A and B are shown apart, each in its own frame.
Chain A
Amino acid sequence: MSFPALLSHLLPSPDPRTPDQIERDVDNEFAFHLAAIEAELTDAGASPEQARRAAFERFGDPRKYRRQCRRIAMKERIMLQRINAVLMVIVLLAVIGVSVQMYLTQRYNSLALADITRQLSTMRQQPAPGTATPGEDEPAPTASEAYTSPVVYVSGSVQRPGVYGLPGSGSLTLTRLLAAAGDLTTSPARVQVMRSLDGEPTAVFRQTVSDLSEIAADDLKLRRDDLILVHEEPKVGPGAAMPSSPDEYEKWLADWGEKIRALPTNNWRAAFALGQQIAALDPEQGYRVLEAYWSDVPDADAKRQLIKAWYFKYCTQLDQDAHLLHVMNLGMTDPSVEVQGFPLNYLKALVLRDFSLDFAAYAPWYERNRDRPCAEVVVDELRRAVRELEDATGGEALRIVELIQNSSALRRDQSAALRSGLIEAGLLDILERLVSNADAELTAAALRTIGKLHADEAYMRRVVVPFFEPDHEATVRSAAIWSFAYAEAAWAGDLLLETLVDDFRRGGPEEGGDLCDAASALSELGHVKAIPTMIGIIDAQSADRTVYGVGYFGLEKLTGVEYNESHNGPWWRDWWEQNKDRFGPQVAALPIPEIEPPPALPESVDDP
């Protein structure tokens, strides 16, 4: 029986007539009956009066029977009215209950908010345990400078936004924030601060925790809109150890499958965090989990994050033979083009093959290499690329050089063996030949690749340093100077500093674009001996060209002082006097040199 039919069965429809109509019908019916009796008696010889009286006697009390008839006709309507009344009472009680609940919730929230505000206020008034007490001469921040809540992410998840025992006065710095965060993370590996600069994309400051601990006071000063990412070694939760019995293993595997299926869609951070956990398992276990539940990963973005986590974990640990190619193959054989994009890029960096140009070539390549140790495959592919580069020219040479330049083999944290392997394969010789070609783009790419190969001093002086000369094209010269930012070439510090001073004295564009390459390379090398000279340059010409080109690209990282366009020559001189002892006696002893400013540009002559 359908629900409407059941309802009509349980609740018969009431009489459609109004109560007045019902009574009128009953009265008419009774009147007919009484008239019929009267007619019957009158026909039998009774007087009309006698007949009427007798009719009423035979009929009985009409009011009583009218009441009974009315009650019968109105029975359903009365029942529905009673049900209606009961429902109204229930709804009214529910509304009252919800209102009371809302009132109590609102009241609780107000109290909780007041409590949080009070606790925050208390925290701001107390120095955080473990943080350096700010100097007494440091001015307390004004209300507008009071610390708001930097959002801190730990491995992709927001952690306790804004609840820290922040110092009550002085600068809020990264070390203070991390100290105040206390148990925020047990094993932070790296800290990133992302910051938007006017007209520039987001700048990223990266520091390891050991770097932070070496900086005494003036480390990175935080701003309200900074985004702080704390990367920690992924903690592997319960279930990490693979059980040995078959039954327990099945359950263990199913638990991981449950975690994968439970991933929220459109949440790359959650997927990446889970990918890190899986990558932190024993490689055999982790790969089994990914392979078993790949089709259960909720969306393409989550699949990309799982591949990414595995790639970043193992692209610098090729000797572990951690199914790196097999995990990439999960993505490459995924039906989604979106998913394929990530392994395509990773394979390009790993084995220097761009399968996006010829996707059909991937399957046979994978079949040939799937059972070989990953490190062996990578080394073979690097050697192949070097061989191909040896005979390549023009655009093909540029393509291969850029592949090598962006190769995972040349990452800073990569095993030195791969870099050495490339050098042994003759790559430096080939690059030396390529830098002397006429194509500026190819020359620049070759110079940047040389920097990543950490070539020795003799090679760098012979091949790269000549490009410091100002008559070279700007992109080529910039690449030559920048190549030292990659190199571990302490010997080049003084050379770069001379270049910086020469460039300054030669004069250049107002925004300091000519100074930023050498200043950046010096800061990447950590050449703190350059600090007094850099201050001397700013002091010689306190203009945008130097304050920005040298202050932002050089001094900020070398000194830890946040860039500020008001930091001119006198300001830096004062700062140096107060802080130079931090850099050791040899550097502190260096004077700030008097540097001759660039010649003034001739007055422009208006065209007649």
Chain B
Amino acid sequence: MMAKPAPPELLQGTLDMMILKTLSAAPNHGYGVVRRIRQVSDDVLQVEEGSLYPALHRLEKRGYLTSEWQRSESNRRAKYYRLTPKGRSQLRAETARWADLSAAIGKVMDAATRTMPVAPGGAM
């Protein structure tokens, strides 16, 4: 039996960006946010789901989100988070920064691949 692969660790700060991005489509509760991230990432990005809540509360405190208790699709009371204009600006800024960062990482990785010595005896 093959061991279950460990979920990749999220880079620091990316969780906030993903939450903002997820909520930019529509207001949602915490469980909905987690489910959306998993769906969009094909279950690659998995986090301890409780860790989402400190991030949500912190973003709300900073004014990027507002919250409101509503009835969910299962008719239970759930706390729905909504992106504020300030949060939308923040999302734009973080998206741009992420694009720069990933491009820079991509360049490093490309350069490393080109200069890697070939192992004696053929392919890796």
* Chains A and B are bound partners: yes
Known: A68-B54, A69-B54, A72-B57. A32 touches B49 (CB 8 A): no
CB pair A60–B51 under 8 Å, yes or no, is yes
Confirm or deny: B4 has a beta carbon within 8 angstroms of a beta carbon on chain A.
no
Q: Return the chain B residue nearest A28 by Cβ.
A: B77
Confirm or deny: B5 has a beta carbon within 8 angstroms of a beta carbon on chain A.
no
CB pair B49–A33 under 8 Å, yes or no, is yes
**Which residue of B50, B51, B54, B78 is within 8 Å of A72 (Cβ)?**
B54
CA distance A59 to B51 in the complex (A): 8
Confirm or deny: A30 has a beta carbon within 8 angstroms of a beta carbon on chain B.
yes
Q: In the complex, how many angstroms separate the beta carbon of B61 from the nearest chain A beta carbon?
A: 6
CA distance A73 to B58 in the complex (A): 8
Q: In the complex, how many angstroms separate the beta carbon of A534 from the nearest chain B beta carbon?
A: 105
A425 contacts across to B, CB distance below 8 A: none
**Which residue of B29, B54, B61 is within 8 Å of A32 (Cβ)?**
B29
Q: Return the chain B residue nearest A73 by Cβ.
A: B57
B50 contacts across to A, CB distance below 8 A: 30, 33, 59-62, 64-65
The residue in B50, B53, B61 that gathers the most chain A C-beta atoms within 10 A of its C-beta is B50
Q: In the complex, how many angstroms separate the beta carbon of B69 from the nearest chain A beta carbon?
A: 8
Confirm or deny: A35 has a beta carbon within 8 angstroms of a beta carbon on chain B.
yes
Q: Which of B70-103 contact A (CB under 8 A)?
A: 72, 74, 76-79
A28 contacts across to B, CB distance below 8 A: 77, 79
Confirm or deny: A280 has a beta carbon within 8 angstroms of a beta carbon on chain B.
no
CB pair A32–B53 under 8 Å, yes or no, is no
Confirm or deny: A58 has a beta carbon within 8 angstroms of a beta carbon on chain B.
yes
CB pair A35–B49 under 8 Å, yes or no, is no
Chain B interface, DSSP helix/strand/loop, else mixed: helix
Q: Return the chain B residue nearest A68 by Cβ.
A: B54
Q: In the complex, how many angstroms separate the beta carbon of B53 from the nearest chain A beta carbon?
A: 5
Confirm or deny: A36 has a beta carbon within 8 angstroms of a beta carbon on chain B.
yes
**Which residue of A58, A60, A61, A72 is within 8 Å of B58 (Cβ)?**
A72
Count B-side interface residues using an 8 Å CB cutoff. 19
Q: Return the chain A residue nearest B79 by Cβ.
A: A29
Chain A 584-600 per-residue mask, 1 if CB under 8 angstroms from chain B, else 0: 00000000000000000
Confirm or deny: B48 has a beta carbon within 8 angstroms of a beta carbon on chain A.
yes
Q: Which of A9-58 contact B (CB under 8 A)?
A: 25-26, 28-30, 32-33, 35-37, 39, 58
Confirm or deny: A235 has a beta carbon within 8 angstroms of a beta carbon on chain B.
no
A75 contacts across to B, CB distance below 8 A: 61
CB pair A37–B31 under 8 Å, yes or no, is yes
Q: In the complex, how many angstroms separate the beta carbon of A43 from the nearest chain B beta carbon?
A: 11
CB pair B30–A58 under 8 Å, yes or no, is no
Chain B 34-55 per-residue mask, 1 if CB under 8 angstroms from chain A, else 0: 1000000000000011110110
Q: Which residues of B contact A (CB under 8 A)?
A: 29-31, 34, 48-51, 53-54, 57-58, 61, 72, 74, 76-79
In the complex, given contacts A32-B72, A33-B50, A72-B54, what are 13 additional A-B residue pairs having Cβ atoms less than 8 angstroms apart?
Answer: A28-B79, A29-B53, A29-B79, A30-B53, A32-B29, A33-B49, A37-B49, A59-B49, A62-B50, A64-B50, A68-B54, A69-B54, A72-B57
Can you identify 5 A-B contacts, CB atoms within 8 angstroms? A32-B79, A36-B31, A37-B31, A65-B54, A69-B53
Q: Which residues of A contact B (CB under 8 A)?
A: 25-26, 28-30, 32-33, 35-37, 39, 58-62, 64-65, 68-69, 72-73, 75
Pick the 10 closest A-B CB pairs, nearest first: A60-B48, A60-B50, A68-B54, A65-B50, A36-B31, A59-B50, A33-B31, A72-B57, A32-B78, A59-B49
